[in-house]
């Protein structure tokens, strides 16, 4: 084997090896970050709920309140339900999002849970349209941004495909959302006993966060090992043939 060819091969192999090892190390760092995130979420969802007022104050101070457990008392404005398309256990339907107003005139948009298409019309689940004062416990969830393949919200038809809090609030309050003290997050209601068949069905928060970083790290390190083995075998075979 010519010395120049061996040098070039060695340089390229070393560069590739460095990249593969670097990717493996990066995935290990991502693993540590993801495990910390999962532990934080699990701690939040098991914690005692805090008040809406405290959660709003945290959010407006710049804190991350995702998955913070919140308890709020108030009354639903059932006439202002909004419907967010969703699939639950393979069944297409809608999340029912309803504004709730507290005694202090604070407003928070409650994702009450899922209804199949057949129960979208409130008259089909009239007992579940709670008109008295209620106590709701739920998880704070931030507004969403529209994904690349997510349809536009059909505001006039009350068909929503992503949670645009600002647009929902404006549609509910006739453009006068600025006069309302609307919380800067949604509350996803926990499952509870609902009259009239249990609709909407709460407890729809998805907490299964994928964590495949260890497998990815092993893959990158295995590829690095394969590269070293192939390099050694190739160089030895060329030297023997020389």
> By residue range, what is the domain housing residue 224?
3-39+211-241
Bridge partners, 96 (sequence order): 83, 113
Domain shared by 185 and 72, yes or no: yes
What is the pLDDT, as a whole number, of residue 195? 72
88 & 158 share domain: yes
- Rounded CA-CA distance 26/30 in Å is 6
CA 161 to chain centre: 14
Give the count of domains, the chain. Answer: 2
Q: Does one domain contain both 169 and 93? A: yes
101 and 139 belong to one structural domain = yes
What pLDDT, in 10s, does the model give residues 60-72?
999 999 999 999 9
Beta bridge partners of 70: 50, 138
Do residue 76 and residue 136 come from a single domain? yes
Region 152-178: mean pLDDT is 87
- SS3 state at 116: strand
- Work out the pLDDT band at 1, boundaries 50, 70, 90: low
Cα atoms in the Cβ-side hemisphere of radius 13 Å centred on 90:
0
Residue 223 has pLDDT above 70, yes or no: yes
């Amino acid at each position: 084997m010519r010395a120049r060819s061996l040098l070039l091969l060695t340089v390229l192999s070393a560069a590739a090896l460095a990249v593969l090892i670097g990717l493996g190390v990066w995935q290990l760092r991502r693993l540590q970050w993801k495990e910390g995130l999962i532990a934080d979420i699990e701690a939040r969802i098991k914690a005692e709920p805090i008040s809406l007022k405290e959660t709003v104050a945290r959010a407006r101070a710049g804190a991350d309140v995702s998955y913070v457990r919140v308890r709020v008392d108030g009354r639903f404005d059932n006439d202002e339900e909004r419907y967010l398309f969703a699939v639950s256990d393979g069944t297409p339907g809608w999340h029912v999002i309803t504004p709730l107003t507290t005694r202090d005139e604070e407003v928070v948009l409650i994702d009450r849970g899922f209804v199949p298409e057949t129960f979208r019309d409130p008259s089909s689940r009239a007992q579940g349209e709670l008109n008295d004062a209620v106590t709701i416990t739920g998880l704070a969830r931030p507004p969403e941004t529209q994904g690349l393949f997510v349809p536009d919200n059909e505001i006039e038809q009350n068909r929503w495909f992503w949670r645009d809090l600002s647009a929902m609030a404006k549609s509910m309050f006739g453009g006068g959302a600025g006069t309302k003290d609307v919380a800067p997050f949604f509350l996803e209601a926990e499952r509870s006993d609902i009259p009239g068949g249990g609709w909407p069905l709460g407890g729809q928060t998805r907490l299964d966060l994928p964590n495949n970083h260890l497998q990815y790290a092993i893959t990158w390190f295995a590829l690095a090992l394969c590269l070293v083995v192939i390099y050694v075998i190739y160089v030895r075979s060329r030297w023997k043939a020389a």
